[in-house]
């Protein structure tokens, strides 16, 4: 089925470990986003990309890096995980168009840092 | 700075009754879009309804309607004839101005709705 696929779905990390979350979309969307969801705070934008080879910082970028080497993939990296990065991470993509931007969300990655 | 505020952390509604979830927003832009998403306990984000800032009529999608009051900067979600399956977290979100061309969504804190049988 067409959509946004996030891997892995669950992960437990030790403090200081690194990992990469992969987001893949097969809808040829230009824009891709990484959000984190924490209780009582909604979804906050970490980084985003408006096209292949471009990335930009969102609201809470510290401690994360991203890359978009291919249009369909958007990677989120944690170089040295901290307990404060325990969260649910959502990737989303959207198309360029008049008026409504159609957003598609992945199913989320639940990350626990111990 | 653009901001979305949902002041109701939790709401209860009796099955088959209507419920309104509040959302206020702050923006200095004239062109913007407002969204509502549903997040059930399974965790996925489900798009419910969209309202553009220039849309003259309130958006409706089945049992969902958006009460858009531009002057008050509010975009409340109305769910009619509540069902048990409506129990979920609901998020209001706003798209950054079109001319910015980034498509970023800004989310509110969310409202947890519980439907009682």
pLDDT per residue as tens digits for the range B32-72:
899 999 999 999 999 999 999 988 899 999 999 999 999 99
The dihedral built from the CA positions of residue B77, B78, B83 and B84, taken in this order, carries a sign that is: positive
- Strands of chain B (E only): list them: 3-5, 10-14, 19-21, 24-26, 33-39, 46-52, 60-61, 64-69, 74-79, 88-95, 105-107, 111-116
**Residue B46, min C-alpha distance to chain A (Å):** 8
Do A100 and B105 lie within an 8 Å CB cutoff?
no
Give mean pLDDT, residues B12-30.
Answer: 95
**Residue A25, min C-alpha distance to chain B (Å):** 16
- Looking at residue A34, its pLDDT comes to 98
- Residue B5 above 60 pLDDT? yes
Q: Is B45 on the interface with A (CB under 8 A)?
A: yes
Give mean pLDDT, residues A82-97.
Answer: 92
- The residue of chain B nearest to residue A47, with distances taken between CA atoms, is B104
pLDDT band at B100; cut points 50, 70, 90? low
Beta carbons of B20 and B76 less than 8 angstroms apart: yes
Mutation target to probe the B interface, by most B beta carbons within 10 A, among A43, A59, A110 is A43
Do B50 and A50 lie within an 8 Å CB cutoff?
no
Q: What is the mean pLDDT of chain A?
A: 93
- Looking at residue A102, its pLDDT comes to 79
Partner-chain residue, chosen from B6, B104, B110, that has the shortest CB–CB distance to A48: B104
Partner-chain residue, chosen from A33, A42, A56, that has the shortest CB–CB distance to B109: A42
User: β-pairing, B46-52 with B33-39?
Assistant: antiparallel
- Looking at residue A93, its pLDDT comes to 94
Give mean pLDDT, residues A2-24.
Answer: 96
- Looking at residue B99, its pLDDT comes to 47
């Amino acid at each position: 089925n067409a959509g946004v696929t996030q891997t892995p779905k669950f992960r437990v990390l030790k403090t200081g470990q690194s990992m990469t979350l992969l987001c893949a979309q097969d809808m040829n969307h230009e824009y891709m986003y990484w959000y984190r969801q924490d209780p009582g705070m909604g979804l906050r934008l970490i980084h985003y990309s408006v096209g292949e080879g471009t990335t930009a910082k969102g609201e809470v970028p510290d401690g994360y890096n991203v890359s978009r080497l291919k249009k369909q993939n958007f990677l989120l990296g944690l170089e040295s995980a901290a307990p404060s990065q325990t969260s649910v991470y959502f990737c989303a993509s959207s198309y360029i168009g008049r008026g409504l931007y159609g957003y598609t969300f992945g199913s989320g990655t639940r990350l626990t840092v111990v | 700075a653009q901001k979305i505020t949902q002041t109701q952390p939790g709401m209860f509604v009796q099955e088959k009754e209507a419920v309104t979830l509040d959302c206020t927003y702050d923006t200095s832009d004239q062109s913007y879009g407002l969204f509502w998403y549903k997040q059930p306990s399974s965790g996925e984000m489900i798009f419910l309804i969209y309202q553009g800032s220039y849309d003259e009529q309130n958006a409706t999608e089945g049992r969902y309607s958006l009460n858009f009051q531009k002057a008050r900067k509010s975009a409340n979600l109305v769910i009619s004839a509540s069902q048990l399956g409506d129990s979920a977290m609901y998020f209001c979100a706003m798209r950054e101005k079109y001319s910015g061309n980034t498509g970023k969504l800004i989310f509110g804190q969310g409202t947890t709705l519980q439907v009682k049988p």
